[in-house]
Each structure stands twice: as C-alpha cells, then as structure tokens.
C-alpha cells in the first residue's frame, strides 16, 4: 500500500477539483470524444481536434512509415498537438501493445514474452523489464501500455498462452503486479519515463473452452478479430463463480493494489454472457466490490460482437460499465450512436460523467497535462546497450533445462567443431514471435538484435569451426562433437495461434533426425510459445532446452549453454506428455497431485547444470 503523505492528499484533492471543473464545462460531444479510442490509421490530427478524441492507439503493426523511433515520436506528437488545440486542451492518451518491450518499433529492445518472464519467477527482474519498456515508450511520447496480460491460461492450445506468465494464478498475481509497478514506477507515477499500465483481459480470458468461439455472423472477418481459425480465443469460460474468482480474478486484485488505473475487458464470455456486456462483473464486482477507481477500456471492436444491432452494442457496453471504447475505425458511428442513446435516455448522463471523470482523473495522475517530450528519455535509449543487457539477463534467467544427459550442458567454448541447425537459429523474427513489429510477428531481419547463431559465434573460441545450415544439410561433414538444433513454432498472435495439435511437425522431426548422426552430443533448443509434444523425440538428444520466445538478445541463451551461468528457469506451465493430457484438468487438481495425470514435466520443473 502506498503511504499517504500530505503531498499525496493535496494532489488527490487538486485533481478532484480540476476534474470537476473541467466536467462542468464540457459539452456532451466533448465528453463522448474522451470516451472514444481510434486506431492511428483511421485519423488525421484534424479529426482529433474536431472531435476532442480522448485516445488514439496503434494496434499491432499500426506503424508509421518508415518505422523508426523518430517517426513514431513525430506521429504521436502531431496528434498530441491537435488534442492540445481543443477548447479545453485535454491531452491525448496514446496506447500501444508494448507487450515485450516497445515491440512495434524497429530498433526497440525486445524482451522475452511473458511465458519466459514467468519461467524466471523473479518479480524484481520483471519490474525492471517493465520500467525499461516504459522508458523506451516515453521516448516516443507514448504513455499507455496495454500490458501486462494477466491471463491465467488453462489450455495450452490457446494462441495467447505465451502472453500469460503462468498457469498458476499466484505466479501471475506476483509477476503481473511487479509489471504494473515497473511501468508506473510506484510513487513516481506521472514523472518522466513512466507510463500507465493496463492489465488485460478482464476476466477469465485464459479459461475459455476449446470449440466455444462463435463468429458474429453480422460482422465480416475484417471487422471482427475472430475469424474462422479461432477455436478457443475469445470463447466461453464455462466455470463456477468460485473458480472464476480462485483462478482468474486474483491477478486483478493484486494489480489494483499495485496501482493499476486502467483495465482492458476480455473478448470472451463467462457462461455465455459477453464480458463487454457484463454489468455484474464490470460494475458490481470490479468497480464496486474491488473498489477499482480507474477506467475500463474495451478490446478491439469487441462491443460490435454483442449484438447485430449496433445501438444495442453501445447501450449495453456503456451501461455495463465500460468507460472508453476501442472502436477502432468507425468512430463517427460510435460517437453519433452514443449521443443518440444519451439523448433518448437509454444511457444515463451520470454514466457519461462518471466515465469521463475516471478518464480525466487518470490523465491527471499520469501527469499528461504537464508532460513535455523534452523532459522525457531521449530517443537514444531505444535499444540502448543497457536495455539490451537487461533483456539478455531476462533471457538467461528464463531458460529451462529439461534434460541434460552426459553433462552435455555446459558446452565447452573451446570445442573444435560445432554444428548449428534450424530455420530459427539465425532469424530474429522467429526468435521474437508474435506482437513484434507486426501483429503476427515476422520472419527474418525485422529489427536489430542478436540471433542464436550470432551469439554462438560471439561465445566460442577463435579456434572453433561453426557449421551452420537452416535445414540441417551438411553433405560433406564428418562427425563433430556437438550439435545444436533449434526448433520453433512459427510466429502467431491471438486466435491465429489456436492449435488443436501441439506435436512437432515433420520438418522439425526430420531436422533432428538429420543432425543426430552427425554429432556425438546433441542439444535441442526450442523457440516456442508453449510446451510442445516432444516425448517421442526426446531420446534423440542429450540435452533439451525451452528458450520460449526470447526476443532480440540470444546471448542470454549462450550464457547458459556455455556455462557462464547455471540455468535457473522453472516451468511456468505443466508440460504434457501427449495431447490426451491437454487441457490438463483444473489447475488446483494438478497442483494437489490428485488428478492422476503424470505429465512429461511438472509445473516448476527445471534442471540445474553442474
Ligand atoms: C487484443 C488486445 C490488444 C488490442 C489492441 C486486441 O485484438 O486482444 O490484447 O491490446 O487488440 O491491439
Ligand atoms: C490489429 C491488432 C488487433 C487485431 C485484431 C489487427 O489489425 O493491428 O492490434 O489486435 O487486428 O483483429
């Protein structure tokens, strides 16, 4: 809990008065403008001033061209200036998904995805990662991060498993709240280099059931996030209230205690009712019982899924307790519909002043009214050495050693010959995964960083010969002492990554088989957003390593491979033996060991190499 000193009390009092004064002067149109969030691709600065828009976002891959830190800064500042030119000069809140670093920006430091941070079990590290992320964001004038994702994923087939820290709600609570403290910098919230956190997606997004995702037939695939591929993402969480609270709610309680003042609502439903229309969970539970005084933002076009009648979508979501709507494109329609609903009395005006009061309060707390870009961290912090060193530390601590026969790890750095194979071994895009530069991530040199192959090169002695081939074809090679095979899941984000079968593909199986006979000892490194089915392939290699989706700094991997550091990562998810074990029953049963399932590796597993 934050101790209240007299300055704090005074700030609170001042903010309350400032908000009340502003509210008393605002027209309905100006208030609705504050509740509207539009994607950058759909607005010009003049629209921001004309409509008094409260927020603009860059969805995944909504980048300026060319995508440079400088252009990001200019894009955001251009829109911000337009907001300051409005009658009341209310600054704009610009939001992004900086979910593993400021990850849309070419040149930013890309940290491991949350699954890797979960393996570190280190709240202090997670807090520092979030702090550096906030610093890089602030350098571009962006002060709102749609993070941390505090989902508690219960089914590995979900394409957002890697966005969750763990299947264990306690771990998610500890690391999620550390992340909030990092972004907002505790008592310094509002000073340069700090940004607003937005825990998401409230609530039960990680508990949906396979096969329950429904397409809203009145929306086209472009309009709705969920297209035909989605199987569990945005689905229905079919559990009792007791289990909803026990598994999925606690991370929000911790995040609110840590100071979270915005929360994003989940696309998913709870027992058939869309969260975006769930007054009991939004207003009664979150704002009432839990005393949440910040504001609630919708997810991407999510209210459109409530009903075929857009008027009902707007009325139901605002009355349920949503304060800001991520429209994200057809904002004229949203604005006029909400205006009409208020004029007809279908949305009470008190609901509007409550929503706008909450948004303005947070804008004051974030210091938006005073912040000047000149006082913020300089653009040079983007991808700076210090930040990359922290990312490397996070990678190193996230590495989970699953098998280590014949003391294969640590490898000897003065080894004579070494084989490195796999399409992901020299590929920043595949190493980073989804939500990197583009929404779905990318392939190849999408942003500067160090690949695994480059990290090996930097580590081994000058006398070592490295043989590399992405496909493991080494026709002229005699036997070498050590081989490293890197297998990967192709990048994905959200429901695009929903996968019924997590077995290795033929290409990966062939790759391992091709390299196996060439080396005395083989280590397999996995770039993956979740545990994969590897039981049959495990005997083929002496060492198996889960490196998750590490981001740009693969030297964190070689520091463990070559013994500068002993591995400390522990599995954040239970590792199943076969698909029949997925989903692994309920978390509580697995934890108590009363589920009669023996997984390949239990939650918390991780060897140390000695
Ligand atoms: C995702 C959110 C994200 C938003 C904005 C949605 O599709 O579910 O996690 O914050 O897009 O990019
Ligand atoms: C956006 C993402 C969003 C997704 C949902 C993309 O175009 O860039 O941020 O989450 O659409 O469909």
Spatial CB neighbours of 475, under 8 Å, sequence gap ≥ 6: none
Residue nearest to atom 12 of ligand 1 (CA): 59
pLDDT for res 82:
98
The DSSP code for 287 is I
Judged on CB neighbours under 10 Å (0-12, 13-18, 19+), 608 is exposed
Check if the beta carbon of residue 331 is closer than 8 Å to that of residue 298: no
Ligand nearest to the CA of 267: 1
CA of 59 to the centre of ligand 1 (A): 7
**pLDDT of the residue at 226:** 54
- Please tell me which residue, 11 or 315, carries the higher pLDDT value: 315
97 as an active site residue: the answer is no
User: What pLDDT is recorded for position 444?
Assistant: 98
- Read off the pLDDT of residues 71-113 as tens digits, 9 standing for 90 and up: 999 999 999 999 999 999 999 999 999 999 999 999 999 999 9
Residue 222: per-residue pLDDT: 73
* Residue 527, strand partner residues: 488
**pLDDT tens track for 394-427:** 999 999 999 999 999 999 999 999 999 999 999 9
pLDDT of residue 220: 83
Which residues' Cβ are closer than 6 Å to ligand 2? 59-62, 225, 300, 439
- What would you measure as the largest C-alpha separation in the chain, in angstroms? 81
CA–centroid distance, 230 to ligand 2, in Å, is 14
pLDDT at 221: 74
Question: CB neighbours of 156 closer than 8 A, spacing ≥ 6?
Answer: 502, 530, 531, 573, 576, 582, 583, 584
> Which three-class secondary structure state does DSSP give residue 282?
helix
pLDDT > 90 in the chain, percent: 93
- What is the per-residue pLDDT for 203? 98
The answer to whether 469 is a known catalytic residue is no
For the ranges 222-231, 362-371, 420-429, 505-514, which has the lowest average pLDDT?
222-231
Test site for ligand 2: of 225, 264, 494, most ligand atoms within 8 A of the Cβ: 225
Cα angle 566, 134, 571; round to 5? 30
Distance (Å) from CA 496 to ligand 1 centroid? 13
CB 82 within 8 A of CB 41: no
pLDDT band at 594 (very low <50, low <70, confident <90, very high): low
Query: Residue 592 and residue 208: Cα distance in Å, rounded?
Result: 22
pLDDT of residue 597: 78
Secondary structure (3-state) at 475: coil
Spatial CB neighbours of 462, under 8 Å, sequence gap ≥ 6: none
| DSSP structural state of residue 289 | I
Tens-place pLDDT, residues 170-223: 999 999 999 999 999 999 999 999 999 999 999 999 999 999 999 898 998 777
What's the rounded Cα separation, in Å, for the pair 358 and 337?
Answer: 21
Classified as helix, coil or strand, 17 is helix
Average pLDDT over residues 124-150: 98
Q: What is the DSSP letter of 265?
A: B
pLDDT digits (tens, 9 = 90+) for 155-164: 999 999 999 9
Candidate list 39, 155, 233, 299, residue with the active-site label? 299
Most informative mutation of 59, 304, 492 for ligand 2 (most atoms within 8 A of CB): 59
- Whether the pLDDT of residue 4 is over 80: the answer is no
- pLDDT exceeds 80 at position 595: no
- Of the ligands numbered here, which is closest to the C-alpha atom of 266? 1
Contacts of 310 (CB under 8 A, 6+ apart): 304, 333, 337
> Is the distance from the beta carbon of residue 397 to the nearest atom of ligand 1 less than 6 Å?
no
Return the ligand 1 atom nearest residue 58 CA: 12
Per the prediction, the chain carries an average pLDDT of: 95
Cβ-count burial of 458 within 10 angstroms (0-12 exposed, 13-18 middle, 19+ buried)?
A: exposed
CA distances in angstroms from 352 to 45, 182, 339, 348, 582, listed in the order given: 25, 31, 10, 7, 44
Q: pTM above 0.75? A: yes
**12: pLDDT strictly greater than 90:** no
Choose, from 127, 205, 323, 494, the residue flagged as catalytic.
494
What is the pLDDT, as a whole number, of residue 483? Answer: 98
């Amino acid at each position: 809990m934050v101790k209240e000193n007299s300055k704090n009390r005074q700030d609170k009092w001042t903010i309350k008065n400032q908000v009340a004064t502003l509210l008393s002067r605002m027209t309905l149109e100006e208030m609705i403008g504050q509740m509207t969030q539009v994607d950058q691709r759909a607005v010009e600065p003049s629209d921001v001033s004309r409509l008094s828009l409260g927020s603009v976002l860059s969805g995944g891959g909504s980048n300026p061209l060319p995508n440079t830190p400088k252009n990001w800064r200019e894009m955001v500042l251009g829109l911000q200036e337009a907001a300051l030119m409005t009658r009341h000069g209310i600054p704009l809140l610009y939001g992004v998904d900086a979910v593993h670093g400021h990850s849309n920006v070419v040149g930013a430091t890309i940290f491991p995805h949350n699954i890797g941070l979960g393996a570190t079990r280190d709240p202090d590290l997670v807090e520092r990662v979030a702090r550096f992320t906030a610093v890089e964001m602030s350098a571009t004038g962006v002060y709102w991060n749609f993070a941390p994702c505090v989902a508690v994923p219960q089914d590995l087939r979900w394409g957002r498993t890697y966005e969750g820290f763990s299947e264990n709600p306690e771990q998610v609570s500890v690391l999620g709240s550390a992340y909030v403290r990092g972004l907002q910098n505790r008592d310094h919230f509002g000073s340069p280099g700090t940004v607003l956190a937005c825990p998401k997606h409230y609530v039960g997004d990680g508990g949906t059931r396979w096969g329950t995702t429904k397409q809203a037939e009145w929306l086209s695939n472009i309009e709705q996030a969920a297209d035909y591929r989605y199987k569990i993402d945005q689905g229905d969480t079919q559990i009792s209230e007791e289990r909803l609270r026990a598994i999925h709610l606690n991370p929000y309680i911790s995040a609110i205690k840590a100071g979270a003042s915005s929360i994003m609502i989940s696309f998913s439903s709870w027992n058939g009712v869309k969260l975006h229309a769930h007054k009991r969970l939004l207003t009664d539970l979150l704002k009432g019982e839990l005393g949440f005084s910040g504001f609630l933002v919708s997810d991407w076009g999510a209210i459109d899924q409530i009903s075929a009648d857009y008027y009902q979508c707007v009325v139901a979501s605002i009355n349920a307790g949503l304060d800001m709507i991520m429209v994200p494109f057809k904002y004229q329609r949203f604005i006029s519909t909400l205006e009409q609903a208020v004029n007809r009395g279908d949305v009470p005006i008190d609901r509007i002043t409550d929503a706008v009061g909450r948004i303005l309060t947070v804008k004051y707390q974030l210091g938006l009214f005073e912040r000047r870009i000149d006082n913020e961290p300089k653009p040079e912090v983007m991808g700076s050495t210090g930040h990359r060193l922290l990312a490397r530390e996070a990678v190193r601590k996230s590495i989970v050693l699953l098998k280590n026969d014949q003391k294969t790890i640590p490898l000897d750095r003065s080894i004579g010959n070494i084989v490195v194979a796999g399409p992901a071994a020299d590929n920043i895009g595949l190493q980073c995964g989804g939500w990197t530069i583009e929404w779905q991530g990318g392939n190849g040199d999408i942003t500067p960083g160090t690949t695994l192959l480059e990290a090996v090169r930097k580590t081994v002695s000058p006398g070592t010969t490295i043989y590399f081939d992405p496909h493991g074809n080494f026709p002229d090679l005699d036997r070498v002492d050590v081989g490293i095979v890197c297998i990967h899941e192709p990048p994905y984000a959200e429901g695009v990554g929903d996968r019924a079968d997590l077995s290795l593909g033929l290409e990966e199986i062939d790759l391992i088989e091709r390299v196996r006979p060439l080396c005395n000892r083989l280590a397999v490194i996995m770039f993956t957003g979740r545990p994969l089915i590897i039981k049959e392939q495990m005997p083929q290699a002496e060492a198996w390593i889960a490196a998750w989706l590490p981001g740009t700094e693969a030297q964190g991997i070689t520091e463990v491979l070559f013994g500068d550091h002993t591995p400390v990562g522990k599995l954040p998810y239970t590792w199943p033996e076969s698909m029949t074990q997925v989903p692994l029953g309920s978390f509580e049963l697995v934890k108590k060991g009363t589920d009669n399932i023996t997984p390949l590796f239990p939650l918390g597993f991780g060897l140390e190499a000695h």
